[in-house]
Amino acid sequence: MKQLIDKRYPVTNALLLVTTLVFLAMQVLRFGQATTAQTIYEFGGMYGLVVKIDPTQLWRLISPIFVHIGWEHFLFNSMTLYVFGYQLEAIFGSKRFFLLYFLAGIMGNIFILWLTPTAVAAGASTSLFGLFGAMVVLRYYSRNPYLQLLGQRYIALLLINLVLGLFNPEISLAGHIGGVVGGALAGIFLPTLQEKYLFTIKQKRLALLLYLVLAFGLVLMSFSL
């Protein structure tokens, strides 16, 4: 167990713990019905129509990150978070990784709200695709050979998963794309531990401003549609 859980990465471990507890609670409290749309919604899944009717439900931009639909969905995303979470928490540091993960997930769920409001959606993939997006940014801007090589691998993973999403109607392509956008922007204004001055202050402020304008703009557009 000591080899499986690395205490140097508390944020990734905490995210895995919360995700697991939520999933197990769904299995116990909704035994036999854990994958129904009603259960997903009750445990915090995204349902854009309800959010548009009741803005107090905007907390659903965050909660779907911890909700999963079935064992396969849960295990795949948890394993992805376990592998890439440790990797990126080491690169960005725990505090910035925490922000990166949630900012990407929020943007992904905003895209779902905007583009597919009739869908009941959930999963950590919005945040996970944000990690891919951040690493793609590092691939093209980092001066660190290791980060460049790692970023190149993330590009391949990103493209493969986006293509797979095109052929699977159960996958929220909108959420994945939104996560990539959010993660890429956050990867600019949240510096890595190795290259804190990779981007200028002006570039960081511009990326942060763009994130905020995009997030608030798409939410307002969603309510007006």
**Does pLDDT of 168 surpass 80?**
no
Residue 32: left (phi > 0), alpha (psi -120 to 50), or beta?
Answer: left
Decide if 1 is inside a domain. no
Contacts of 44 (CB under 8 A, 6+ apart): 22, 59, 60, 63, 64, 66, 67, 122
**What's the rounded Cα separation, in Å, for the pair 155 and 158?**
5
Identify the residue with better confidence: 128 or 5. Answer: 128
Decide if 2 is inside a domain. no
Q: Looking at the 3D structure of the chain, how many domains does it have? A: 1
pLDDT, position 197: 92
**Does pLDDT of 176 surpass 50?**
yes
In 3D space, the residue among 204, 206, 174, 215 whose CA is nearest the CA of residue 96 turns out to be 204
Question: Which CATH number does the domain housing residue 99 bear?
Answer: 1.20.1540.10
Q: Give me the phi and psi of 121, to 5 degrees please.
A: -125, 155
pLDDT, position 2: 52
Residue carrying the six token digits 């116990």: 28
Could you read off the pLDDT of 97-128 as tens digits, one per residue? 999 999 999 999 999 999 999 999 999 999 99
Using CA atoms of 107, 113, 118, 124 in order, give the dihedral in degrees to the nearest 10. 20
Decide if 3 is inside a domain. no
Identify the residue with better confidence: 72 or 165. Answer: 72
pTM, two decimal places: 0.94
Mean pLDDT computed over every residue of the chain: 94
